[in-house]
Chain A
């Protein structure tokens, strides 16, 4: 019954998770919605001394997390966030999951309700390469290789500008925002976000409800 390897030096984390981890102070209470194999949870638990929990849709992912000693439940961002009380967590993380939810607006509203801060990362469909794909190939850009528009889980892809507009509509405060290019270099997103919308492959937003 030897414990499985516990990960996770910061360097071993996926780009966006590494940046997200950087936004979360030590000893925070965090909920990672769509926590996958638990890489971020393991990092936060082991390196930042926090109380980190997860929700994951796939039962295999959940089992893998729990087998590592992480606190994870099987659940769905669309249906299971409404259970949680207001401001139950310091940070609620939704990494590359928003585009796969049925109701992104309701999900985002729940994130800032149950967390004092919400961290949302997503693939920016406004990136110049995605724009060129549509312009020159005439095909819908998709996320990832070997993915078709009809089989993709990403039913609500968006651009950085789309996301900023939604935040404004919902009256959310954008505490900080950064884009990440293909080399993993980050840059802060300026107020109007137009440049980041063209050059950022991914975006990470830190939000709160006023």
Chain B
């Protein structure tokens, strides 16, 4: 535990593999809240090489608890990159062919500016003084990174879950800066149920006395119990009932009989406790509050009088919308809503529902049909603009 916490501290000190760039010193990042950040940092990783025409850049947007380590081992957990199955040499997002960028989101806790970063005005951690950010703000920060890298137009923006929301936001607000967009297992807005689950997670963190009203860093504490509960609850929403049942059923954990107590009698309890306790080693509790808030605020149609289609009016972007049949967090109906809106503006869109019982997290897993169709979409788009 102590070593891992130290790792998060090292992160705060900037001891991270990959790149970190400070942006916005001259031009502040204006946020949806009306506040601004100046300067702000973006930590990112790249794979492959940008071609001479600068036409082969792929931006991968990560999910709520993801990070920039999409293909390289995660420095905190030592595990392979979160989309190692998809990103790499001769993989679907072929790093021999594409210049892949993945940045830690604004509000995150792995090198980009977030509530655990130092507030330049006070020299102390931001804590709850950090401005509330939105999905659009995360995208704004990433566009600043693209400016910094000299990339005018992305070949592809792709991401699952909250990454898919960023992709939708990017395609809506910066349609001239992206050729193709693949939002996977995403939604055009957070539903009441989505918000409700997030609220439970936030309440768990804030109910932990070690949260110290958000000031735990200054007070030398960490609300790990609250964060672990938030993670346990959220993790359930990432899996389908079928998958949970197949994995655990009612099997007991390392015992032959019920204990008539509150230990983790069941394997599923033990599994969730493990998910919770490992998560706290790599995630900042306030970041969890801010990012879930950003997702709750997400509603792409809000600035278009509730007409989602108008978010994509006149778009030239090629879309590939993908959902998973057993995903009840962002079910296929949400993806269909996106597709209907894109049809209403006659956008170029492909839509695939992948048949799987693995739930929301399927986008991270070995799903051959998803990989096959994604590869076809990417190859088709590459052919269209003459990328070899």
Contact = CB atoms under 8 A, between A and B. Distances in A.
Interface of A: 1, 3-4, 51, 53, 59, 62-63, 65-75, 80, 83-85, 88-89, 114
B353 interface: yes
B369 interface: yes
A70 B343 CA distance: 16
B235 interface: no
Contact of B376 (A68, A73, A75, A114): A68
A27 to B, nearest CB: 13
Interface in B42-61: none
Interface in B330-363: 339-340, 343-346, 348-353, 355
Interface of B: 90-92, 94, 318, 320, 339-340, 343-346, 348-353, 355, 369, 372-373, 375-377, 379-381, 383
- Interface centre among A59, A70, A71, by most B CB within 10 Å? A71
Nearest to B319: A71
A59 B352 CA distance: 7
A66 B352 contact: yes
Given A66-B376, A69-B381, A74-B353, A53 B348 contact: yes
Contacts of A80: 340, 343
Nearest to A55: B343
Given A67-B372, A68-B380, 15 more contacts: A1-B92, A1-B94, A65-B350, A66-B352, A66-B376, A67-B376, A68-B376, A70-B350, A70-B376, A71-B349, A71-B380, A73-B343, A73-B349, A80-B340, A85-B346
Contacts, number: 75
A88 B315 CA distance: 13
Given A74-B352, A80-B343, A84-B346, A63 B90 contact: no
Given A66-B352, A74-B352, A4 B376 contact: yes
B351 A73 contact: yes
A84 B343 CA distance: 5
A58 to B, nearest CB: 12
